[in-house]
Chains A and B, each alone.
Chain A
Amino acid sequence: MAEKFMYTVSPHLHEKGQTIERGMADVLIALTPAAIMAIIVFGFQAFYVMLVSCIVAALSELIMRAILRRPHSLRDMSAMVTGILFAFLLPPTTPLWVVAIGAFLAVAVAKELFGGLGKNVFNPALFGRVALMISPLALYTTKFVKPFFWRATGFFTPVQTVINNAVSGRVVYQGLGGKLYVNTVTNATPLSLLKSGRMLVSTVTGPTPVGATWLVSNGRPSFWSMVLGFKSGSLGEVSILALLIGAAFLLYRRTIDWRIPVGIFAAFIFIMLVTWNHPLYQLLGGGIWLGAFFMATDWTTSPMTRRGKWIYGLGIGLFIALIRLVSPLPEGVAISILLWNVGTLVIDRYIAEPKFGEVKKPWFNKVPIYAEPAPVPKPVEEKA
């Protein structure tokens, strides 16, 4: 018999495979279908963006943690997740140096400066994305290419946005050896078509076209091409089908909470319906699927309480709808989630979670106050 046994506090068992690394690996696995679709639709350029984003994210974490004297934490793979998610938010032809700046901001500022995994207030990937959007580099990240543009440029050719003031729209795409593709591949995303009133109900709800027009009907993406991802948009957001496969996996693994996406879609569809907008357009374009399943459900930046999750989800859905309907801003999903990341701090502080058997279920937290310690009586000095 062993002389000494290990002494620890109960419980003495731990759930198998329930580790931070496994949770992050789950997210990476769930993102794989969307990544594959991105490479199919946008060529190897999509892969270059993801690669640079991941490498810079990992390096930023390594360097920041060294500067901040924290043990390195590459093993938990959270930098990889941030890297991939950040790449997913970018237009496929974003110049790689812009990708690097954004990935650095995401990991170094939004995550490590806040205290590392678990302490960050903002979703790092979204923070990086919005930081680029409001920076002088915005123009690089707000123009989108056509799906399958690689048929003109070559599958493996890196194609990047460059700014040329001589051209209308100021954006051209540059391939290898400085070869320019002027405007031939620029495209409007479904949402920008919507905002400018160029997309009609019939394009998405009409009968599916056959043959060559299956992908595009009257110059606009059809319902199925929007679901499969044959449309303009950010890298990872285009294929709704691929994102749904990943989301189903995450929900099955219980890595993400179902309340948040359900809340987002419920509020979003409700607002669209009461404002007499067709929710289908709005759902099929833009990043709401990526946002609802992969960004808003981020462990660290979403509320902990069940009630809080509902409030958070419904709030994000409401904000996305309002931004889409009222504001000319792009990236409504990113901005909504970032705002509610801050809201999470408030929700978690003030919204109560009813305990088991609590009869009156209070809505707000009431911090108990203990009685002040009784004043110690001063020793009476006896006078001699």
Chain B
Amino acid sequence: MAKTRYKSFKGGIHPPYNKQLASSKAIEQAPVPAEVTIPLNQHIGAPNSPLVSVGDRVSVGQKIGETEAFVSAPVFSSVAGVVKAIEDIPNFTGAKVKSVVITTDANQPKWEPKPGKSVDELSADDIKAIAKNAGLVGMGGAAFPTHVKLSPPKDKPVDVVIINACECEPFLTCDHRLMLERPADLVAGLKLFMKGVGAERGVIGIEANKMDAVEKVRSAASSEPNIEVEILEVKYPEGSEKQLISAVTGRKVPPGKLPAEVGCLVQNVGTAIAMHEAASTGKPLYERVLTVTGQGIKNPSNFLAKIGTPVAALIEAAGGTTDGPVKLIMGGPMTGFAQEEPIANVVKGSSGVLVLTDELVDIREEHGCVRCTKCVEACPMYLMPNYIVEAVQKEDWAKAELWGTMDCFECGCCSYTCPAYIPHVQYVRKAKAEIAALKKR
């Protein structure tokens, strides 16, 4: 039997996906917690300063943090309530970030949509302004401010906007559900992005394990001649920016360069829908869809949760944990952050909360490298992960850079496939910090 070959990239891995746990669960509104903790810095870039002080009353969608810097995104209150404290609180990475703690009112007023404008009435600059004012960031996990992405250098025009609908991370299903439930909003968001950068072509890249989503989005985009839906091979990391561009357009972003170098812009499904909401109703980014799943969750669900919701409340809403949860992860299982305690809060970039049991957690003592080359074969950036590790062990930072430390985006394919159980990503992070320090000198 001939198997249909979909577009893809070279390298990568096929982890167990486990999407069936939550893919059939419709998006539900998560309960509003008694208290939300909203970090003022939820994006890559300059930190925000608080606009409120302790004791202030805040309303839903009120701006509570902002800065003048270009590479930044404002933060909004996700609830109506009273500011209880503004203090440094560890976020999901463990780093202490200045956060606003809000005690929520018993009665939460509904968001009042403001009259918005359609794509045709907006100029490219309007769209960038809307994205900035709504505090949009990449909602796939990296949380890079969207308006910055929409402003590529003048000499590098963008002609293709790609919607990253691969959701290649195992377990996560929030983008899948969004595509099934709101395909028209996704297409509208894509049109806004295309107008924002002046691109003629829009592509929605979906992995072949979500054919129902492909159908929905295709029919939603049927009246748009410039928008196509591309089915991609099911492989991790298909949804990595550079790999996605290469799979969809055949263009390869050179090392250390941004997608605009090859005329591409990549945005996540959630970001596109948030963009549409911001343009049509003026709604800022104060809530997002995320998946609470894993073998350790009783009732895996997809939630529309307020930014600042504590993880423990979400796990509670999903029926709590089953017996023997071993790992709690913010994000996907390949790139997410393990949590020792369920104290982190939902931020703009949170795509999932994952509780793993013994079934998939496989941790062993690290053996010396046996040079089997599995990591080299798996690396989607064609780097030499084992040599980076070797260089880090010898603290030879020049060698570490030579073998591609700075091009690594920490997808984790190398560690996933390593028979010696070497935690390459850990070494790479160390090398990145050391090299950055060396270059600053």
Partner of B334, one of A5, A10, A365: A10
- Contact assessment for A13 and B360 in the assembled complex, using a CB-CB cutoff below 8 Å: yes
Q: Does B252 contact A (CB under 8 A)?
A: yes
Residues on B with beta carbons closer than 8 Å to the beta carbon of A275: none
Give the distance in Å from the alpha carbon of A106 to the alpha carbon of B387 in the complex.
Answer: 26
Partner of B416, one of A15, A358, A373: A15
Q: Does B253 contact A (CB under 8 A)?
A: yes
Q: Does A219 contact B (CB under 8 A)?
A: no
Residues on B with beta carbons closer than 8 Å to the beta carbon of A167: none
- Contact assessment for B441 and A373 in the assembled complex, using a CB-CB cutoff below 8 Å: yes
- Contact assessment for B423 and A9 in the assembled complex, using a CB-CB cutoff below 8 Å: yes
Q: Does B356 contact A (CB under 8 A)?
A: yes
- Contact assessment for B407 and A6 in the assembled complex, using a CB-CB cutoff below 8 Å: no
Q: Does B58 contact A (CB under 8 A)?
A: no
Interface residues in A1-35 by Cβ distance below 8 A to B read 1-16, 18-20, 22-23
Residues on B with beta carbons closer than 8 Å to the beta carbon of A6: 326-327, 338, 361, 363
Using a Cβ–Cβ cut-off of 8 Å, how many residues does chain B contribute to the interface with A? 79
Q: Write the B411-441 contact mask toward A (1 if CB under 8 angstroms, else 0).
A: 1110111111101011001000000001101
Q: Does B307 contact A (CB under 8 A)?
A: no
- Contact assessment for A13 and B404 in the assembled complex, using a CB-CB cutoff below 8 Å: no
Measured CB to CB, the closest approach of chain B to A113, in angstroms, equals 15
Q: A7-B340, A13-B360, A15-B416 are in contact. Are A305 and B372 (CB under 8 A)?
A: no
Residues on A with beta carbons closer than 8 Å to the beta carbon of B399: 367
Q: Does B263 contact A (CB under 8 A)?
A: no
Question: Which residue of chain A has its CB nearest to the CB of B253?
Answer: A357
Give the distance in Å from the alpha carbon of A119 to the alpha carbon of B371 in the complex.
Answer: 9
| Residue among A16, A18, A300 with most chain B CB within 10 A | A18
- Contact assessment for B423 and A14 in the assembled complex, using a CB-CB cutoff below 8 Å: no
- Contact assessment for A20 and B367 in the assembled complex, using a CB-CB cutoff below 8 Å: yes
Partner of A1, one of B13, B325, B333, B397: B325
Measured CB to CB, the closest approach of chain B to A98, in angstroms, equals 29
From A150-158, A331-339, A348-356, the one touching the partner chain is A348-356
Residues on B with beta carbons closer than 8 Å to the beta carbon of A13: 15-16, 170, 333-334, 360, 362, 416
From B32-40, B82-90, B129-137, B378-386, the one touching the partner chain is B378-386
Partner of B338, one of A1, A12, A257: A12
- Contact assessment for B13 and A15 in the assembled complex, using a CB-CB cutoff below 8 Å: yes
Residues on B with beta carbons closer than 8 Å to the beta carbon of A359: 254
- Contact assessment for A368 and B398 in the assembled complex, using a CB-CB cutoff below 8 Å: yes
- Contact assessment for B398 and A367 in the assembled complex, using a CB-CB cutoff below 8 Å: yes
- Contact assessment for B255 and A357 in the assembled complex, using a CB-CB cutoff below 8 Å: yes
Number of A-B residue pairs with CB-CB distance less than 8 Å in the complex they form: 180
Give the distance in Å from the alpha carbon of A3 to the alpha carbon of B321 in the complex.
Answer: 12
Q: Does A65 contact B (CB under 8 A)?
A: no
Give the distance in Å from the alpha carbon of A353 to the alpha carbon of B407 in the complex.
Answer: 13
Partner of B419, one of A10, A20, A357: A20
Give the distance in Å from the alpha carbon of A16 to the alpha carbon of B170 in the complex.
Answer: 15
Q: Does A146 contact B (CB under 8 A)?
A: no
Measured CB to CB, the closest approach of chain A to B30, in angstroms, equals 18
- Contact assessment for A18 and B418 in the assembled complex, using a CB-CB cutoff below 8 Å: yes
Q: A13-B16, A15-B416, A118-B420 are in contact. Are A370 and B338 (CB under 8 A)?
A: no
Q: Does B374 contact A (CB under 8 A)?
A: yes
Q: Does A304 contact B (CB under 8 A)?
A: yes
Give the distance in Å from the alpha carbon of A20 to the alpha carbon of B374 in the complex.
Answer: 11
| Residue among A309, A353, A369 with most chain B CB within 10 A | A353
Measured CB to CB, the closest approach of chain A to B362, in angstroms, equals 4
Give the distance in Å from the alpha carbon of A302 to the alpha carbon of B189 in the complex.
Answer: 50
Partner of B401, one of A15, A304, A357, A368: A368
Q: Does A374 contact B (CB under 8 A)?
A: yes
Measured CB to CB, the closest approach of chain B to A253, in angstroms, equals 12
Q: Write the B221-251 contact mask toward A (1 if CB under 8 angstroms, else 0).
A: 0000000000000000000001000100000
Q: A118-B370, A354-B382, A368-B402 are in contact. Are A304 and B417 (CB under 8 A)?
A: no
B residues neighboring A (CB under 8 Å):
13, 15-16, 170, 242, 246, 252-255, 257, 312, 315, 320-321, 325-329, 333-342, 354, 356, 360-364, 367-374, 376-377, 380-384, 386-387, 397-399, 401-402, 404, 407, 410-413, 415-421, 423, 425-426, 429, 438-439, 441
**5 A-B residue pairings within 8 Å (CB atoms):** A2-B321, A12-B336, A15-B15, A304-B376, A367-B399
3 closest pairs, A vs B, by CB? Answer: A11-B412, A357-B252, A299-B372
Instruction: Beyond A5-B338, A6-B361, A20-B420, list 4 extra A-B contacts (CB 8 Å).
Output: A1-B315, A10-B425, A11-B413, A357-B255
